[in-house]
Amino acid sequence: MEIGMVDDLKNGEMKKFTVEGKDFLLVRVDDAYYCADNRCPHMGGDLSHGILQGTVVSCPKHHSQFDVVDGHVVQWTEFSGAKLRITKLLKSPRPLKTYEVTIDGDKLLARLDDSI
């Protein structure tokens, strides 16, 4: 499925797009493009309003961090100590769902049909 054009984003930018009512995040880092669910798996924060540092996106709600390359959890929340342990008991860390992006000419393509 076409999700954008290579010139839609500058290096280090990200944007939200919606397909069939589901929000996704498109990210550009150098000449690589990444696509992921836009909702944080911790508390559903809108990742497009977060901060991107390299390939790591931070959720604006509790600063959970995920690598958009493969979705692995870098940091589950900004909490520490007992508060972090309780948070992990209530909602265990889950990776961010990511989708492979390919380039066809100037078009960005991703297979999203398994998630919508």
- 1-17 per-position pLDDT tens digit: 999 999 999 999 999 99
Q: The whole model's pTM is what?
A: 0.88
Confidence of residue 27 (pLDDT cuts 50, 70, 90): very high
What integer best gives the mean pLDDT of the chain?
91
User: Rounded to an integer, what distance in angstroms lies between the CA atom of residue 89 and that of residue 115?
Assistant: 27
Strands (DSSP E) found in 13-114 = 14-19, 22-29, 32-37, 51-53, 56-58, 65-67, 73-75, 98-99, 101-104, 107-110
- Sketch out the chain's domains with CATH numbers: 2-110 (2.102.10.10)
Confidence of residue 80 (pLDDT cuts 50, 70, 90): confident
